[in-house]
Chain A
Amino acid sequence: MKYISEFREAGHVQKILDAIHRITNHDWRIMEICGGQTHAILKYGLQELLPEKITLLHGPGCPVCVTPLVMIEKAIRLASRPEVTFCSFGDMLRVPGKDRDLLSVKAEGRDIRMVYSPMDAVQIARDNPGREVVFFAIGFETTAPAVAMAVHQAKESRMTNFSMLVAHVLVPPAIKAILSSKQSKIDGFLAAGHVCTVMGVQEYNPIAKKYQIPIIVTGFEPLDLVQGVYLCIRQLEEGRAEVENQYLRSVRIEGNLPAREWMQKVFRVVDRQWRGIGTIPNSGLGLNDAYLIFDAEHKFHLSGEEVAEPEICISGQILQGLQKPDACPAFGKACTPESPLGATMVSSEGACAAYYKYRRSHAG
């Protein structure tokens, strides 16, 4: 397929890997932000092909993984109501709450539907005026424009049976939180290409400057990823700390302006709790006052109930680049993708799930 196959060409990738081997003189730790990148790195075994001096750390960029348990519990409570048709992206259905997941609520006969787009949920509400349709809105800046348009259309058509449980998060505050931590040992970042397709690259300049760290906006194909690593290592070896854009074919400096405008119309910036990390100030999006009637927490008067994470799980440290999945005693034993204990095992983009899928088979 055009714009995919040429960026997967093994010969191209190998040449860049050779170049990386040649220019790497020091030990460097690079974090890729996005779970999609983590998945691709494990799938293509890129860590093994890089010089030993380079360690790839896996960041918090998997929305399914960072949605806190208290939100999952709210989703389960909403989905259990007989009048509710609950719509969600597929990945969220298997995330365990306190004692069950959304799929088991569905098995009990409740109306829970997997949707591909937030627009599908609006359509379901239109087709079923007698039902309360709730969409579980999770995601980063990449997904927020779609959610903004969906809620706007619901408002335009004066729908009264549609609402959203909003758990949207933002990337730059998470990067800052990770870098501000005293334990952080990260030398460079690969920023998420599709988040930047929407938001542009400008908000990363002050971060690169303040923390003296290179940030490379990077795509998702193997050639993109090794190029991102190459640019990052080149900066590190030369003592530079700048924002560079590897993903030129999709990312414009200013991002996607119409999408950003719509996000601003619909959302406001709020504090958000990140699973495994805690509350990060100004790190999420919630509906603003003009759209408050579409906020499911408001509509159904949901209150939060703290749910403790399993003690053994170190996913919080993994999401901050302090540990790798195989350091967890439960990894592959008590905790597997079929019965996940923690955040990073639940989604195929979580670091633990990606290690489980690809690393175990490497080990035989």
Chain B
Amino acid sequence: MCLAIPGKIIEIKEADPVNRKGKVQFGGVVREVHLGYVPDAKIGDYVNVHVGFALSVIDPDEAAETLRLWNEIAEKEEEHRHK
């Protein structure tokens, strides 16, 4: 039940900061999402959304870093195999 789905912010309706809302696109589906908990999120950012609330902005650098680090492990595995 704690699943949060990543989606892209395509519209932000500025209101008072607490009630900030916007439209978030998940694949082909667009939903209205509460953005009050991600005050720095901008249009184009990806956010993790749970029960209608964005809980975090997905950090593209950290995501790339995770994938890069794992490539490194994978390469080490390759080397190991050829030893």
Contacts and interface: CB of A to CB of B under 8 A. Distances in A.
Contacts of A146: 34, 50-53
A258 B39 contact: yes
A192 interface: yes
Most buried by A among B2, B55, B56, B80: B2
27 contacts: A1-B26, A1-B27, A2-B6, A3-B58, A12-B74, A19-B73, A35-B1, A36-B1, A62-B1, A89-B51, A117-B52, A118-B52, A119-B52, A120-B52, A139-B1, A140-B1, A142-B2, A145-B37, A149-B53, A153-B19, A194-B2, A197-B48, A227-B66, A246-B66, A249-B63, A250-B58, A250-B59
Contact of B58 (A22, A61, A119, A249): A249
A2 B37 contact: no
Interface residues of A, number: 55
Interface in B25-73: 26-27, 34, 36-39, 46, 48, 50-53, 55-56, 58-60, 62-63, 65-67, 70, 73
Given A15-B74, A256-B55, A195 B2 contact: yes
Contacts of B53: 117, 145-146, 149
B3 interface: yes
A5 to B, nearest CB: 11
Nearest to A152: B18
Q: Closest 10 CB pairs between A and B?
A: A117-B52, A15-B74, A248-B62, A249-B63, A142-B2, A3-B6, A146-B53, A259-B37, A194-B2, A249-B62
B14 interface: no
A259 B35 CA distance: 11
B4 interface: yes
Interface residues of B, number: 38
A22 B1 contact: no
Interface in A179-207: 192, 194-195, 197-198
B4 A142 contact: yes
B63 A3 contact: yes
A295 interface: no
Given A89-B1, A347-B1, A22 B77 contact: yes
A19 B76 contact: yes
A51 B46 CA distance: 35
Most buried by B among A117, A138, A140, A251: A117
Given A36-B2, A116-B51, A197-B4, 4 more contacts: A16-B73, A62-B1, A64-B1, A194-B55
Interface of A: 1-4, 6, 12, 15-16, 18-19, 22, 34-36, 61-64, 89, 91, 116-120, 138-140, 142-143, 145-146, 149, 153, 192, 194-195, 197-198, 220, 223, 227, 230, 246, 248-252, 256, 258-259, 262, 347, 349
A24 to B, nearest CB: 14
B1 A91 contact: yes
Nearest to A250: B56
Nearest to B63: A249
